[in-house]
Structure 1
Amino acid sequence: SSQNCSSGIRSRIKESEFGGRFLEHIPVLQWAKHVSPEQYERLRRYPGTHALAGTLSVLNSSANWQMLDDWEAQRNKSECSRCAVVGNGGILRGSKKGKEIDSHHYVFRTNGAVVKGFEEDVGSRTTHYTFSTNTLMNSMRSYAGTCSHRALLLPQETRYVFLPDHDRDYLLMKLNSLDLLFPPPPSPTKYFGKDVSKEKLKMYHPDFIRYLRNRFLRSNTLKTRYKDIYRPSTGAAMLLAALHTCDQVSAYGFMTPDYKKYSDHYFDNTYHPVGFFANHDLRMEMVLWQQLHKAGLLQLYVRQ
């Protein structure tokens, strides 16, 4: 986050009820610096790190380890970085929040990130696109039929923030260019556009995701037989990463207590109830957003 912002989240969180959960030293992103034999040995005990070393050597520029890598260019005399984090919740449909979302310095989106045809409600800019192989594959499958694959073509300012789930995710990164990520067809440049260089790739640190799970979203699921598949949802990881990197965060399209009123996603053509699965604890996430909003650490969009 920027050094000069006196009202930023980092200065307020320590005084808040979240002070005890917040750890400043956990890196949000991982990059080439994290390739050391000690790190590898330590991380090897956790799933999904076996291909680590080869992968991370690709992420060797400062842009890879800074979430807001172009802040100096973006800030426009501003002391504080303002980030909009946009979930896919149905609450955004008809919200007319598009202009407000696009007016932030940075706009984080995830999964489908469908903006075409929904700009008035969800905006059109995407500076940070969070995805995991699963969400990407699912997005490609489910959007191929509906909104045409062009829905995923992201603008030039977009960075790709990779959320590692499995070993293969590291192998994918090692391939270094999104074109090689998936066997043909379809080629990701068809989805992401041609303008993807490795400077635009970032990757969440597994320590950060584990820290979120243990300190912010320690679900009772961890006491059940589903404990090994449980993790924060992609949207939750993205929102909490923004809270750890931006000075001010507004969240749109995240679950609120009246969620039954809205379809699962803002781009659904017919009403779909929110689906609950064992790998995430969406109700716990919803409560966390309420608490963070109440503590003044994020601005949560709620329908009046």
Structure 2
Amino acid sequence: MATRRRVVLGGVTAVSLLCMYVLCGNLQTPLKHLGSWRSLSSQSQRLDQKGNMSSPAPSPTHEHAVTPRTPSPAGHQDGVETTTTSTSASPPRREATPTEDTFIGDAYMSVDVPPLTDCPGGIRSRVAKTEFAGRFLTNIPVLQWSEDATRDQHRRLSRYTGAQGWAGIDFDALAETLAALNSSANRIMTDDWKWRRAASRCIRCAVVGNGGILKDSKKGPEIDQHHYVFRTNGAITAGFEQDVGARTTHYTFSTNTLVNSLRSYAALGYRGPPRSQETRYVFLPDHDRDYLLVKAAATHGAVQRGPERGQDPSRYFGEDVSAAKLKMYHPDFIRYLRNRFLPSDTLRSKYRNLYRPSTGAVMLLAALHTCDQVSAYGFMTPDYSKYSDHYYDRHYHAVGFFLNHDLRLEMHLWQQLHAVGLIRLYTRS
């Protein structure tokens, strides 16, 4: 009898152990993924507490130059640093997903702004039939203005650093700046459309990058025939009108890129932002210095603090600049572009707080969300090595690649948008 009990007990024990083994085997993969996300979340919290990571002094030809990319080893896209681990000890590498809300934050404010046109076959009607339908939000706020400065919104957006949020931006300073942007002209990109439209049912926009592909293109007259012409950073037009046009209705920049352009391109003819009655200045706010400059420009005062302390904004925008000519991209819009259109591998690296879409990419994608027809000139194409970095370069300069932007990923996006008919990309072919 005792022997029989031992046999039965041994059998029960064996079955129990087998069940536990099967259960643990089934739980293994989820547990690994949970551990991975916990580790990633902890890294995100550490980075967010520190704010933006420091970087070397800006390069003369790039917005915020950081460690250059190295040639891509096999399996590593765009030379972005990735963590190499044994496949037996870690889950497989995955695409960036919106599960890390404290960093990715794939939830956005929704605004109800009626369309300005009834354009047949415009971008908004075509996008639903393309691969971008699931990414494209028609109610995303492209610009921020006075009504966005609430305590609740400040708490929500203070979780996100850099251009993606309001981390490090004092609420009172934010509210004082946005209070000056209190008209429809500040919240609508093409605010003068009702005077400009004539008989047109569609808003036609030319978005002009500074790429060397435009040199000797003779595209200037074509560019100037659009309703709106968008330019960015060191946009030199004097002497290059036949290739790039002369008009500028929207000039996109950050305070940092403006200062860098004035320093780097002065010898080539850049004297500051374009000035005309139709020009609007669209700030991409990377830091609090952008809010300080907007406030000073809108109130015709001096910058109160920071690197530009005491400066008179009229040196950049002219004596007659008004608050109605100033606009600021909404941080939700920048984060949305990063998350849904340009989710670079850099988001999985230790440099992720440095990464955002380039200023030119933000400008082009803003046009995609506000115009009915978009033509893009001077943006990178697969044969970019044939052309100098800028159309105004006196000698050939190769395009540089840096970790804060993913220019190859952007180039691929322009190819996709062109292929499905959402933009018309100048390729010189």
Counterpart residue number, 1:281: 406
- Report the Cα offset of residue 172 of structure 1: 2.4
Higher relative contact order (CA 8 A, sep 6+): 1
Q: Which runs of 5+ in 2 are unaligned?
A: 1-114
User: Deviations along 1:129-161, whole A, 9 cap, x unmatched?
Assistant: 001011101011112333152x64422210000
Among residues 326, 333, 336, which one is paired with 1:201 in the alignment? 326
- Map residues 199-278 of structure 1 onto 2, 5 A cutoff: 199-278=324-403
1:31 correspondence with 2:150: no
Asked whether the 8 Å contact 1:153–1:193 carries over to 2, the reply is no
State the alpha-carbon separation in 1 of the partners of residues 265 and 382 from structure 2.
28
**Cα distance in structure 2, aligned partners of 1:79 and 1:136:** 35
Q: Structure 2 CA distance, aligned partners of 1:286 and 1:136?
A: 23
Q: Which residue of 2 aligns with 1:302?
A: 427
Question: Contact 2:206 / 2:223 at 8 angstroms: preserved in 1?
Answer: yes
Bigger drift between 194-203 and 48-57 goes to 48-57
Equivalent positions of 1:44-83 (< 5 A) are 44-48=158-162, 49=166, 50-51=169-170, 52-83=174-205
Contact 2:388 2:396 in 1 (8 A): yes
Shift of 1:184: 6.0
Residue of structure 2 equivalent to 1:167: 288
* Contact 2:376 2:424 survives alignment (8 Å): yes
Give the deviation of 1:240 after TM superposition. Answer: 0.1
Contact preservation (8 Å) 2:364, 2:376: yes
Segments of 5+ residues of structure 1 without an aligned counterpart are: none
Equivalent residue in structure 2 for 1:140, among 258, 262, 274? 262
**Separation in 2 of the partners of 1:180 and 1:160?**
18
Structure 1 residue 168: Cα displacement:
2.3
Distance 1:148 1:292, change over 3 A: closer
Give the distance between the partners of 1:188 and 1:257, measured in 2 at CA: 39
RMSD: 1.5
Aligned to 2:5: none
Helix, strand or coil: the match of 1:130? strand
Kindly indicate whether the alpha-carbon contact (under 8 Å) linking 2:141 and 2:333 is maintained by their aligned counterparts in 1. yes
Amino acid aligned to 1:239: L
- In structure 2, C-alpha distance between the alignment counterparts of 1:30 and 1:285, rounded to whole Å: 24
CA distance in 2, matches of 1:184, 1:156: 26
Does the 8 Å contact 1:2/1:247 carry over to 2?
no
- Percent of paired sites with the same residue: 66
Q: Distance in 1 between matches of 2:302 and 2:389?
A: 32
- Give the secondary-structure state (helix, strand or coil) at the position aligned to 2:374: strand
TM-score scaled by length of structure 1:
0.95
Distance, in Å, in 2 between the alignment partners of 1:197 and 1:58 is 10
In 2, are the aligned partners of 1:156 and 1:195 still within 8 Å (CA)?
no
Superposed displacement of residue 174, structure 1: 2.5
Q: Please tell me whether residue 42 in structure 1 is matched to residue 163 in structure 2.
A: no
- In the alignment, which residue of structure 1 is the partner of 2:57? none
Deviations 1:169-192 (A, max 9, x none): 22222224476343467x543343
Query: What is the distance in 1 between the residues matched to 2:416 and 2:292?
Result: 37
Alignment of 1:185-196 (within 5 A): 187-196=312-321
Output the CA distance in 1 between the equivalents of 2:406 and 2:217.
Answer: 26
CA distance in 2, matches of 1:14, 1:179: 46
1:265 corresponds to which letter in structure 2? Answer: H
Aligned to 2:136, which of 22, 27, 39?
Answer: 22
Q: What corresponds to 1:129 in structure 2? A: 251
Tell me the residue number matched to 1:98: 220
CA distance in 2, matches of 1:220, 1:63: 37
2:230 and 2:401 map into 1 onto residues whose CA distance is 23
- Cα displacement string for residues 33-54 of structure 1 (whole angstroms, at most 9, x for unaligned residues): 1011111111111225224222
Q: Please say if residues 13 and 19 of structure 1, whose CA atoms lie closer than 8 Å, have aligned partners that are also in contact.
A: yes
Three-state SS of the structure 2 residue aligned to 1:291 is: helix
Which amino acid letter does the alignment assign opposite residue 243 of structure 2? D
> For 1:162 and 1:82, how far apart are their aligned partners in 2?
22
CA distance in 2, matches of 1:262, 1:148: 20
